[in-house]
Amino acid sequence: MKKLILALILISGLQTQGQSPLYYGMYTSKYGDMNFFEEYGPEYPNKNIIYGDYGTKGTTVGFLLGNENIGKFYNGTKDGQFRLNMSTLGSLPSFIGTWGYTSNNANTADKNYWWDGNAKSKGMPSCIVNAVWSGKWNTNHGFIILEQVGNKVTGKYDNVGTIDATYNPTTRILKGTFVNNGKNGFFEYSFEGNSFKGKWGWTNAFTGGQWNGTKAYKTNKEIFEIDFIKQSLGEWTFNSILTGEKIAAKIKIEDRGTVCEPKFVAIISMPTQVFLDFSVENTFTTKEYNLTLQRNKDTSLPNYFFAEISSPITLLDKGKPSTTTNTYLSLIPLFDSNNKIINLGVTLNTRTKNLKTNNETSSVPHINVFLKTMSNIKVLDYSQINNQLLKQLQLPINK
């Protein structure tokens, strides 16, 4: 019997350290929508952490003790505590438990402090926007495991100390102090979604060097995309021609989706004959095109939107397909050194692929500059814009 009990304990320990998430997913609850994600490992203070967004502005973070989720929440205005019994008995996880502002009110008979919820989908979150610091981060100075309640962030610094900091979601800066083997230091991290760039020092002059990291589990929404999209949306008015001819009078970029599932469209107003010829369209005053966001690994080049505006044209050679040509409208936001949008490069371009060699060539006969409608933004140097756009459009696109 003793051997059996020992074996069960060992098996239980192995399951805890290597366990797969059980309760992760999107939940609807008595007090609002929320999501949960779990991480496990012997390096975690409680062998695990469970965290996520709560509503539109809140956070939750806690740990699992058996099937109990014990932790803290922030609802956008106040923080509190909870103790939730998690269940996987149904087709999707659920929970029932208690909450309070000064305690978790465990076992209370007061229904005002009961909290129940049901998962509406199960899966790893990839769009956490509030509880962005919670979880494990691997850095160039060891790992950190953080817990975020509102904008307050605390946690474990590897096996040598602790972290205590405050996050400013407007500037996206996490700033605070750390303890390393009893010695106090200072740090500042710049949040970039599932990574950060930072600096540290033994004084708040931060002379110790770089402190950079990446999230062990990529649960956050990439913040650069949010910034990029926010500045690109709106109405743009034709300003000038760099190459070729005028494309249209106005272009409006809209996002009709959500932060996590964007859906971009370009509304073309008063197109010229050049646009109509490229898109093989009859005359129209206004037309919408679905946009795709192109992300570049080369950070010296901007991300951009594109839309395929006509059906591909395939040429035959001896009865067999030899080349395919696609026609695109490309919208390339250009930014200054402070990442503020300056103008919009608008192009009509083609890409021709040799189906035998898979080589692809690009042609950009028409390049225009558009400015935000009712804006006093100045235009960048035309030659600089032209060179950026041409270099950008030579790269492969994600289709």
- Tens-digit pLDDT profile for residues 300-348: 566 788 999 999 999 988 889 999 999 999 998 888 777 788 889 999 9
Partnered with residue 369 across adjacent β-strands are 240, 345
Arithmetic mean of pLDDT, 120-146: 94
What tens digit of pLDDT does each residue of 103-131 get? 999 999 999 999 999 999 988 888 899 99
List, in sequence order, every residue forming a beta bridge with 318; answer none if it has no partner.
none
In this structure, what are the phi and psi dihedrals at residue 384, rounded to the nearest 5 degrees?
A: -65, -45
CA 380 to chain centre: 29
DSSP character at residue 210: E
Dihedral angle, C-alpha 383, 387, 393, 394, nearest 10 °: 150
Max distance between CA atoms of the chain, in angstroms, equals 87
CA angle, residues 331, 337, 340, in degrees to nearest 5: 55
Percent share of the chain, pLDDT over 70: 85
Q: pLDDT, tens digit, for every residue of 349-365?
A: 999 999 989 898 889 99
